[in-house]
A and B are shown apart, each in its own frame.
Chain A
Amino acid sequence: MALAQAAPASRRHFRSFELVLGVLLTGGMTLAVLFSGFLFPDGGESMDLMARLLPPFQNPAHLLGTDPLGRDVLARVIVGGRISLTVGVLSVLGAVVLGTLMGLIAGYYRGIAEVILMRFADVQLALPFILIAIMFLAILGTGIDKVIFFMIIAQWVQYARLVRGSVLALRDREFILSARAIGVGNGRIIFQHILPNVLGPIVILMTLNVANNILLESSLTFLGLGVDPLIPSWGGMLADGRTYLQSAWWVSVFPGLAIMFTVLGLNLLGDWLRDFLDPTGQTSK
């Protein structure tokens, strides 16, 4: 038995397998959700009380069975993906814009802005955010907008730190100095010369955070603190299905599988991107 040799070539094949699987899972789920309006015009809402709690794989009209109100589980799983993907994508976009801007400013101009930002970031990263979010959502009431808002507040710091670190490494490099020497303005240096160079790590972090936020949203909604329980969502379906676990396992199993496939796809993509864009491991823990 040899201890820790260099990775064999099979690793590369495995990497491509990861990429393909990641694209298939994420792409498949995204397409299904995007076209859910065509696939299920009723939005998974139509009830058929004669067809309550039908088991899966027996009726072609209800491939994944029906829930206690006779609603199609497959339709609700696909439609429920709208919430998860919306929250995942919007929260990450918000956090990345805010965080990148702050990180660029702190890293490029340094001085007092940097000191304040970094102290603020230290404190914020040490706060147990899920607990604080639970408290605020419990008090302010639920809603998709509030969930997204809290995720942005919780995560922009990660991007700010990452970007600041990259900018510090770049700002005294020759190509920046020469740009400045020929009179290029600060704004243009930041957005045209520095930003493109820090995009790789940002994209990796974004992918993994979309995955994380989908998990987080489903948890909050499951607890009754996230999205309105009347809107179909994966977390909400799991909360409903729990009551019927004994008689109808499928109501709880399939929304969970939907979360798992989507998040796994994103994690595979994120992992592959990390190998591809960031071989030196800036973004790895």
Chain B
Amino acid sequence: MAGFILKRLLQAVFVILAVTLIVAFAIRLTGDPAVMLAGGSNITEKDLQNIRQALGLERPFYVQYFDFLRGVLVGDFGRSFMGGTPVSLLISKALPATLLLAFASLLISIVLSVPLGVYAAVQRGRWPDQLIRILSLVGLSFPNFWLAIMLVLFFSITLGILPPSGMEGPESFVMPALTMGIILTATNVRLVRTSMLETLSQQYIMVARSKGLKDRVVLYKHALRNSAIPLVTYIGLQFGSLIGGIVIVERVFNWPGMGTLAFDAISARDYPVLQGSITVLALFIVLINLLVDIAYGLIDPRIRTE
């Protein structure tokens, strides 16, 4: 087990090094941040030199990279070009909004996909199964931001019952969370169904049924519990695409999260903020994946030998 954890840890370290290296490299492509910062037109080469000196930009790339890496470790991502607020402060405000949305979406998707997936498995091959299957395919076939726009059209413009944007009060959560919840459900329903079918073909299910236990008890107490481990793992591994989706959906709803922070930074050419927010999100995803992997290895020893 220790070997397994060590191997996964090493892998995660590699990924983290890759992410930070890519981000640091990308930021070098922006051109000269000194020119960016100086802004005005009557700037002498001397001024630029001074700014570069102050930012440490004249040092070789690897020195700057290690400096950036050290900053990441202590949570220091520099200061915003706009007003000089520390990037870490901006992130500490935006990250909770994004994570709240992520958990709300996950919750919705579990509430929707577990009963639907179990029902589809029980009805295998009959029309309810086919219908759920088609619906899940449809759910995988449109972009999340379009679903978001359609929800706004329906709930805010036609019915006028939900605020079209912002994060104020519980009702503002409904549409953003529903958007990602529905998108996740489309994948998860199929997962629940497959996982349930696999469990239902096991002998202990037959035993439970032949003992005369009710179908509902067999389904939810015996089968679903045993299907839960692969489900939880897969849902954990989806975290990356969930965050990627939320970043886009935040844009539609003006949600004050990491996506909005990053995109505002793009239009303002505020590269430290962009760099910081992308790095934090990426590291978050890598860490969650690592935890899920290790947890799965603990629960199911077969994974370790793979």
**In the complex, are the beta carbons of B140 and A267 less than 8 A apart?**
yes
**In the complex, are the beta carbons of A223 and B125 less than 8 A apart?**
no
CB contacts under 8 Å to A, within B202-216, are 205, 209, 215
User: Is A30 part of the binding interface, using a Cβ–Cβ cutoff of 8 Å?
Assistant: no
With CB as the reference atom, state the residue of chain A lying closest to B25.
A136
Q: Report the separation of the CA atoms of residues A215 and B240 in the bound assembly, to the nearest whole angstrom.
A: 17
* Mask: chain A, 240-279; 1 = CB below 8 Å from B; 0 = not: 0110011001001100100110011001100100000000
Q: Report the separation of the CA atoms of residues A241 and B275 in the bound assembly, to the nearest whole angstrom.
A: 30
**In the complex, are the beta carbons of A245 and B152 less than 8 A apart?**
yes
Q: Report the separation of the CA atoms of residues A211 and B142 in the bound assembly, to the nearest whole angstrom.
A: 10
Q: Report the separation of the CA atoms of residues A285 and B205 in the bound assembly, to the nearest whole angstrom.
A: 24
**In the complex, are the beta carbons of A3 and B219 less than 8 A apart?**
yes
Q: Report the separation of the CA atoms of residues A242 and B29 in the bound assembly, to the nearest whole angstrom.
A: 32
With CB as the reference atom, state the residue of chain A lying closest to B218.
A3
**In the complex, are the beta carbons of A238 and B149 less than 8 A apart?**
yes
Q: Report the separation of the CA atoms of residues A264 and B134 in the bound assembly, to the nearest whole angstrom.
A: 10
Residues of A within 8 A of B27 (CB): 139
**In the complex, are the beta carbons of A4 and B121 less than 8 A apart?**
yes
User: Is A1 part of the binding interface, using a Cβ–Cβ cutoff of 8 Å?
Assistant: yes
Interface footprint category on A: 35 or more
* Mask: chain A, 3-21; 1 = CB below 8 Å from B; 0 = not: 1111110110010000000
User: Is A135 part of the binding interface, using a Cβ–Cβ cutoff of 8 Å?
Assistant: yes
Residues of B within 8 A of A10 (CB): 125-126
In the complex, how many angstroms separate the beta carbon of B124 from the nearest chain A beta carbon? 5
Q: Report the separation of the CA atoms of residues A167 and B285 in the bound assembly, to the nearest whole angstrom.
A: 32
Which residue of A11, A138, A252 contacts B274 across the interface (Cβ within 8 Å)? A138
**In the complex, are the beta carbons of B282 and A132 less than 8 A apart?**
yes
Which residue of B125, B157, B218, B234 contacts A246 across the interface (Cβ within 8 Å)? B157
**In the complex, are the beta carbons of B122 and A126 less than 8 A apart?**
no
With CB as the reference atom, state the residue of chain A lying closest to B200.
A4
* Mask: chain B, 1-21; 1 = CB below 8 Å from A; 0 = not: 000000000011011001100
Q: A10-B125, A222-B143 are in contact. Are A123 and B200 (CB under 8 A)?
A: no
In the complex, how many angstroms separate the beta carbon of A55 from the nearest chain B beta carbon? 14
**In the complex, are the beta carbons of B149 and A218 less than 8 A apart?**
no
**B residues contacting the other copy or chain, number (CB 8 A):** 63
Q: Report the separation of the CA atoms of residues A57 and B228 in the bound assembly, to the nearest whole angstrom.
A: 49
**In the complex, are the beta carbons of B281 and A128 less than 8 A apart?**
yes
In the complex, how many angstroms separate the beta carbon of A115 from the nearest chain B beta carbon? 14
**In the complex, are the beta carbons of A260 and B138 less than 8 A apart?**
yes
Residues of A within 8 A of B235 (CB): none
**In the complex, are the beta carbons of A252 and B153 less than 8 A apart?**
yes
In the complex, how many angstroms separate the beta carbon of B180 from the nearest chain A beta carbon? 13
User: Is B266 part of the binding interface, using a Cβ–Cβ cutoff of 8 Å?
Assistant: yes
Q: Report the separation of the CA atoms of residues A72 and B11 in the bound assembly, to the nearest whole angstrom.
A: 52
Q: Report the separation of the CA atoms of residues A267 and B22 in the bound assembly, to the nearest whole angstrom.
A: 32
Q: Report the separation of the CA atoms of residues A88 and B247 in the bound assembly, to the nearest whole angstrom.
A: 22
**In the complex, are the beta carbons of B197 and A4 less than 8 A apart?**
yes
Q: Report the separation of the CA atoms of residues A140 and B243 in the bound assembly, to the nearest whole angstrom.
A: 23
Chain B binding surface SS class: helix
Most B-side CB within 10 Å, residue of A128, A138, A215: A128
Q: Report the separation of the CA atoms of residues A253 and B142 in the bound assembly, to the nearest whole angstrom.
A: 12
Which residue of B12, B130, B152, B282 contacts A131 across the interface (Cβ within 8 Å)? B282
**In the complex, are the beta carbons of A245 and B153 less than 8 A apart?**
yes
Which residue of B23, B143, B247, B286 contacts A215 across the interface (Cβ within 8 Å)? B143
Q: A252-B153, A256-B150 are in contact. Are A134 and B122 (CB under 8 A)?
A: no
Q: Report the separation of the CA atoms of residues A134 and B260 in the bound assembly, to the nearest whole angstrom.
A: 13
In the complex, how many angstroms separate the beta carbon of B80 from the nearest chain A beta carbon? 16
Which residue of B29, B142, B191, B251 contacts A139 across the interface (Cβ within 8 Å)? B29
Which residue of A131, A134, A235, A260 contacts B142 across the interface (Cβ within 8 Å)? A260
Most B-side CB within 10 Å, residue of A130, A139, A235, A249: A139
With CB as the reference atom, state the residue of chain A lying closest to B196.
A4
Q: A139-B29, A140-B29 are in contact. Are A4 and B18 (CB under 8 A)?
A: no
In the complex, how many angstroms separate the beta carbon of B241 from the nearest chain A beta carbon? 8
CB contacts under 8 Å to A, within B150-191, are 150, 152-153, 157, 191
Q: Report the separation of the CA atoms of residues A25 and B200 in the bound assembly, to the nearest whole angstrom.
A: 35
**In the complex, are the beta carbons of B130 and A14 less than 8 A apart?**
yes
**In the complex, are the beta carbons of B146 and A259 less than 8 A apart?**
yes
Q: Report the separation of the CA atoms of residues A256 and B130 in the bound assembly, to the nearest whole angstrom.
A: 24
**In the complex, are the beta carbons of B121 and A238 less than 8 A apart?**
no
CB contacts under 8 Å to B, within A104-125, are 119, 122-124
Q: Report the separation of the CA atoms of residues A219 and B149 in the bound assembly, to the nearest whole angstrom.
A: 13
CB contacts under 8 Å to A, within B262-286, are 262-263, 266, 271, 274-275, 278, 281-282, 285-286
- 10 examples of A-B residue contacts, CB within 8 angstroms: A3-B215, A3-B219, A134-B266, A136-B29, A222-B143, A223-B263, A225-B266, A245-B152, A249-B153, A256-B142
Please name the 4 residue pairs, one residue from A and one from B, whose CB atoms are nearest each other, closest first: A256-B146, A7-B125, A264-B141, A130-B244
- A130-B241, A260-B141 known; 10 new pairs, CB 8 Å cut-off, are A4-B121, A4-B122, A127-B282, A138-B274, A139-B29, A218-B143, A219-B143, A219-B145, A222-B143, A267-B140
